[in-house]
Amino acid sequence: MDLRVKKTYAALIEACTKLLSERRYEDMSVAMLCEEATIRRTTFYKHFADKSEFFAFYVESLRGQMVERGHRALQNVGEQADEAGERRAVLYEFADYLLEHEALMDNIFSSSLSGVLLDVICEKVADAFYEGAVRHLQAGAPAAADLVERADFAAGGVVRSMLRWWNGSDRVERRGDFVELSAALAARVLDE
């Protein structure tokens, strides 16, 4: 990818993060985004058809950040960690990411596009659960035929728990409760 394009994307992502930390998606315009990123609207429209297409790109970039943090969490727990330990480490990283971007997440969750973000989150949690389960299979053992569905089901439960935790009071203090409940839920579904 051309360096100029990378810089444009980075500026837009940073601008969107700042704007979404201050207002909901519906209250943000392409003009505001371009002004904050210090790019021309023609440059924006050269890369994206509209604000919605850009938002899909933005959510994908958030997903990438979450996945990167999840991989770092796995490296930190080391090779000896069992599947449940890995799950717990990734869930702590996920909760920390949300708390570090609290205003941004509040505005996204209250916007009309919250479903898009929740879908992406659910998909990525399911992927992490599935990959962790496969990584911990006995050498040569096949994955259960329903493992993808169980990972999806567990991820859906985690996302619902996340929303309850997020919409409740004392997010920071209840972070551990959210992670432990989510890890236990995932274990019940995945560890047969």
Please state, in angstroms and rounded to a whole number, the distance separating the CA atoms of residues 13 and 55. Answer: 9
49/29 Cα distance (integer angstroms): 13
- What are the residues whose beta carbons fall under 8 Å from the beta carbon of 154, sequence distance 6 or more? 125, 126, 129, 185, 186, 189, 190
Higher local confidence (pLDDT), 119 or 47: 47
The reported pTM is 0.75
Q: State residue 138's pLDDT score.
A: 67
| Angle value at C-alpha 76, between 73 and 82, nearest 5 degrees | 85
- Residue with more model confidence, 163 or 79: 163
Q: How confident is the model at residue 75 (pLDDT cuts 50, 70, 90)?
A: confident
Res 127: pLDDT: 84
**Low-confidence winner among 54-68, 69-83, 100-114, 178-192 (lowest mean pLDDT):** 69-83
The separation between CA 160 and the C-alpha centre of its own chain, rounded to angstroms, equals: 14
Which residue type sits at 17?
T
Residue 41 has pLDDT above 90, yes or no: yes
Domain locations in the chain as residue ranges: 55-190
Mean pLDDT along residues 38-43 = 96
Average pLDDT, the chain: 86
Asked if residue 15 has pLDDT above 90, the reply is yes
> Is 53's pLDDT higher than 60?
yes
Most confident of 66-70, 95-99, 128-132, 139-143: 95-99
The predicted model gives 61-88 an average pLDDT of: 74
Residue 56: pLDDT band with limits 50, 70, 90: confident
Q: How many CB atoms lie within 10 A of CB 53?
A: 11
